[in-house]
Structure 1
């Protein structure tokens, strides 16, 4: 019995030693690296990287600051004294030239065709364009009219001095005639009824009576009453001439 026990004990120790050897050998192996399986469950949102967008550079601004004419701030300086406040007619005769708009505009673009050659045209803004074939005196009259076309109506204006802050009907007509060298001093509408030559002229006609006077210059009208319609004394449409006397400068 004692021998059997010893044999059994030896067998157990051998088995136990083999287990230790097996355990030691297993401990020397490198652990397997496991990668987590991707989440494929429809209940879990998968984050996607945001694409990088490359925008072109902003263009350089070329805007220019322009002060509008009507809204430009007025100067706070004291206005210069009026050179003609003496109320005399000794100041120089009108020599006002046409505005820059009239000089840069093309008559053909405004009227076109034959009318630009022998008929003036009012293009707005107080500017009229003379016809290409007009005499120099007619061109000077239109230039002078452009200079005062938008000045306000002022009773007696243009009679005390040529350069005035406003003009009445005969004052503005006298101003235009004087600019062409046709008058040496302003005349009222009554005296203009016997001035110059009777009847209509080829280029210029003075329509006058005791109460009002206006001009027809190269087919357009220069009239203080036109300001109610256009804001300018120039207007392309004529008006009734009933009750008016027609006079014209000699040769025009």
Structure 2
């Protein structure tokens, strides 16, 4: 390997060693997207589940690298430095690549259901949702004992729940699906009519609500896509 290639490879290796764990880049992305946040906000806002000790360790490491600093004040928030902000462009490119080319992981529904619910929420078209709130209850075929909930309403921020929100029972739509189908819907790679048409997704509840579920979600409109196989 030539000298210039060796230098480039060493720089890449350093980046992986310092930032290549599961949580460091997620912390950077969270601060870059939402601005300064306190420790508790980060602990609850990061997708998945991070222990407080792990989060404290990652923040110390990012501070040491000059990627993150703490704002002054009685309750100091963490923020990205100019060095950290420089990571947002490559993170955006990495996300675009991953959405286009990385295969969906069916086990993610069980491992990180809150992430899948967040993806579904991103696909909600609030302008076309019903005026009164509707609860979508998801039941994966492979694990009928597991249930997840997404609440949608016109003009309101959709939100996911890992416990039943206990709203008006007449406003529930019960969705059963294969895990690959649920991920395809969450990623915007498949619309509801196609998923219901091939049987990978079924919906029950008030017929009027069931017939309009597909209007409440948007497909992904940019980036390369590949055909999705429904299980």
Of structures 1 and 2, the larger Rg is shown by 1
- Shorter-chain TM-score bucket reads under 0.3
Give the alignment's TM-score, normalised by structure 2. 0.23
User: Which of the pair is proportionally richer in helix?
Assistant: 2
TM value normalised by structure 1: 0.22
